[in-house]
Chain A
Amino acid sequence: MASFVPTSADTLEDQRLYTSARLVEVACLDCLAKVGVKKNSEHHTSIQWTAEARRHCPELSRRTGARDTFPACPRMIASIEAAVRDGQIPIGAEDGY
C-alpha cells in the first residue's frame, strides 16, 4: 500500500531523475564498499549506499550511541575525490538534477 500517491505518471519519472539517474559507481580504495555517486558541482556530492556496501565499511560501523550519525566516511570521501581527479565522475547538473 502506497502512502503519498502521485497523481501524474511524470512524477514517477521525476523521482527516478532525482534519486537514481546519473549515479556513477565508485569503489572504496580501502575496503570492499561500492557506492553510487553524483556530482552536480565541485562542492556538491550525492552518495547512495547499499546495505552490502555499508556492511563493508569499517569506519561507519564503529559508530554507536546517541548523536552517532556520522557525516561521512573519510576514506570513501577520499576515494570519491580520487575518482573525480581521474575524470571518472562527470561534474555538472542536468537541469537541476
Chain B
Amino acid sequence: MSDTKVRALDQGTAPERFARGWHCLGLAERFRDGKPHGIEAFGTKLVVWADTQGEIHVLDGYCRHMGGDLTQGEVKGDEVACPFHDWRWGGDGKCKQIPYARRVPLRARTQRYPVAIRNQQVLVWHDVEGSEPDMDILPPELPGIEEGLYTDWVWESEHIIGSNCRELIDNVVDMAHFYYVHFAFPTSFRNVFEGTQATQFMESKGRPDKTGGYGDAELFLKSEATYYGPSYMINWLDTDYKGFNTEVILFNNHIPTGQDSFLLQYGIIVKKPEGLDDKTANFIAKKYAQMFGEGFLQDVHIWKNKVPVQNPLLCEEDGPVYQLRRWYEQYYVDRADIVPEMVDRFEFEVDTTKANEFWQDEVAENLRKKAEEDAAGESSADEPAEKPQMMSGT
C-alpha cells in the first residue's frame, strides 16, 4: 500500500532569524568616497561609511533619536550625521555629539556591525545572539590580489525577490542542474562539509549541443568552491579553453534582506596570463563575469518559479542535500544548540557515470537533429540562441 502513496511536498516554514556569520557588503573602495551608503540587510538597512583614516564602519541605518535615515545623512569627520537633527554617530555605535544639546544621553548606543576587510571586501559579523565576531572563521585572504597579480574587479549584484537564500546554498550539492540549467557536463563531483566550511569539487565540460560563448565542447573546467560560513563562497576555477589555461576566482556571496529575498553579489578576478597586457586580461575577466551573470540568471528563473521543499525526494545520482542543509542549520540555531552532526566532517562522491552516459546520448541526438535541420535548409535565425554557461560552484 505504502508503495503507491502519493508523495507530499513539505514546504516547511522559513526561519525567522538571519544566519550567524560573516556577510560581504561589497568592495571596500566603493565605501571610501566620503559619503554614507545604504545597504539593505537582515531585514533592515545598514549605513556604511569610511572615517578620516579610511576605516570602514557599519551601523544600523536608522537614528535612535527619531528614526532618521542615516544613509541619507553626511559623513562629518569620523562620524555619520543624521539628516534629521544632526546627531553624530561613531563607528563604535555610540552617539558622539548632538550639536544643539548640552550632553549626549548615556543610552545613545545603536546596533553596530563589526567589520573585517578580506580580499579588498567589507565583511560584517551578524549574530542575533549578539556575540563577539569570530575572527577564526573569517574567509582566507588570498595571496596575489594586493600584489596586483590579478585583473581589476568585476563586481555585480542582483536583488533576488521571492526566494529564501537557502535555494542558492542548495546548488553546492546539485550535480544534475549543471547539465539542465547551465548546459555543462559535470564529469566528477564531490562534496566535503566540515566545521564552518562546505566545499564542492567539480570537473566539467561544456555541452557541444548548446553553442556560443565559452561553454562549448572545447571548454574544460576544474572548479573548487568553498563556503566560508553561511554566505561567502570562494570559487577557484581553472579553465582550459582550446589549450589556453586561465585561473579565475569567483567570489560568490549574498546578504539576506528578508525571509524571501536576498542580495546576490559576485566578484570576479582573473590571474593575469603571462604575455598578455592588462587591458586584454581585464577584457577576459569581463567576459567571464558576463557568463557567470547569465548563469545566475538561469538559476534565478528556476528559483522564482519553484516552491521551497523541506523533504526533497532524491535519486541515487543526486548530491547530499540533506547533509548540506544539516550543515547550514548551524547558522540558524543558537550556538549552544549546534549538534556534532552539523559540523562533523562529511564526504560524498557523486556517481556521475550513469548520468554522463545518458547525457552523452542525449547531446549526440540533439546534434544529429540539428544537423538534419541544417541539411533541410531550415533557418534557425529567428530562434533565440541558447547561451551555454561555463559553470561555477553555483
Chain B associates with chain A: yes
- Residues of A near B322 (CB, < 8 A) are 14-15, 18-19
With contacts A8-B311, A15-B322, A45-B347 taken as known, whether A3 is within 8 angstroms of B316 at the C-beta atoms is no
| Interface residue B310 (Cβ < 8 Å from any Cβ of A) | yes
Residues of A within 8 A of B323 (CB): 18-19
Contacts of A69 in B (CB 8 A): 192, 194, 197, 199, 224, 226
For residue A46, which residue of chain B has the nearest CB?
B348
Contact with B along A77-97 (1 / 0, CB 8 A): 000000000000000010011
> Do the beta carbons of B344 and A51 come within 8 Å of each other?
yes
Complex contact B326–A7 (CB within 8 A): no
Q: Which residues of A contact B166 (CB under 8 A)?
A: 4
Contacts of B350 in A (CB 8 A): 44
CB nearest to A70 among chain B residues: B192
B1 within 8 A of A: no
Residue of A at shortest CB range from B334? Answer: A1
B141 at the interface (CB under 8 A from A): yes
**Residue of B224, B313, B315, B344 with highest tally of chain A CB at under 10 A:** B344
Do B349 and A44 have beta carbons less than 8 Å apart? yes
- Identify which of residues 7-45 in chain B touch chain A, using a CB-to-CB cut-off of 8 Å: 8, 10-15, 17
Binary interface encoding of chain B residues 335-352 relative to chain A, with 1 for a CB under 8 A from any of its CBs, else 0? 001001100111111111
Which residue in chain B gives the minimum CB-CB distance to A17? B322
* B245 is an interface residue with CB less than 8 A from chain A: no
Residue in contact with B326 in the complex, picked from A19, A54, A71, CB distance below 8 Å? A19
List of B residues within 8 angstroms of A41 by Cβ: 316, 351, 353
A16 to B313, CA, bound (A): 13
User: Does residue B320 face the partner (Cβ distance < 8 Å to A)?
Assistant: yes
Most buried by A among B197, B236, B321, B322: B322
Q: Is B8 a contact partner of A4 (Cβ separation < 8 A)?
A: no
Which residues on the A side are within 8 Å of B12 (C-beta)? Answer: 4-7, 11
**One of A1, A4, A72 near B14 (C-beta < 8 A):** A4
Expressed in whole angstroms, the Cα–Cα distance for A70 and B347 within the complex equals: 10
- Contact residues, A27-65 vs B (CB, 8 A): 40-51, 54, 60, 65
Q: Are B333 and A5 in contact (CB under 8 A)?
A: no
- Total A-B Cβ pairs within 8 A: 131
- From known contacts A14-B311, A40-B316, A96-B316, infer whether A4 and B325 are also in contact, taking CB-CB under 8 Å: yes
With A49-B345, A51-B340 known to touch, is A6 a contact of B316 (CB < 8 Å)?
A: no
B348 A67 Cβ-Cβ under 8 A: no
Please, which residue of chain A has its CB at the minimum distance from the CB of B331? Answer: A3
Closest beta carbon of chain A to B316's beta carbon, Å: 4
A4–B332 CB distance below 8 A: yes
Shortest beta-carbon distance from B130 to chain A in Å: 15
Which residues of A sit under 8 angstroms from B332, Cβ to Cβ?
2-4
Query: Which residues on A sit within 8 Å (CB–CB) of B326?
Result: 15, 19
Shortest CB distance B136–A (Å): 12
**Could you tell me the distance between the alpha carbons of A2 and B350 in the complex, rounded to whole angstroms?**
29
Interface residues of B in 134-149 (CB under 8 A from A): 140-143
> B226 to chain A: which residues have CB within 8 Å?
67, 69
Q: Nearest chain A CB to B341's CB is how many angstroms away?
A: 7
Contact A47 B347 (CB under 8 A): yes
The chain B residue sitting closest to A38, CB to CB, is: B348
Is B292 an interface residue, CB under 8 A from the partner? no
Whether the Cβ atoms of A6 and B351 lie closer than 8 Å is no
**Residue pair A66, B201 in contact (C-beta under 8 Å):** no
Pair A50/B344 contact, Cβ less than 8 Å = yes
B177-196: CB near A (< 8 Å → 1, else 0) gives 00000000000001010100
**Nearest A residue (CB) for B352:** A43
Cβ–Cβ contact A54 & B320, under 8 A: no
Minimum Cβ distance to chain A for residue B320 (Å): 7
> Residues of B with Cβ closer than 8 Å to A?
8, 10-15, 17, 140-143, 166, 190, 192, 194, 197, 199, 201, 224, 226, 234, 236, 310-311, 313-316, 318, 320-323, 325-326, 329, 332-334, 337, 340-341, 344-353
Given A4-B329, A7-B310, 15 more pairs with CB closer than 8 A:
A3-B329, A3-B332, A5-B310, A6-B10, A7-B10, A11-B10, A18-B321, A18-B323, A40-B316, A47-B348, A49-B194, A50-B340, A50-B344, A70-B192, A72-B347
Instruction: Report A's interface with B, CB cutoff 8 A.
Output: 1-8, 10-11, 14-15, 18-19, 40-51, 54, 60, 65-72, 93, 96-97
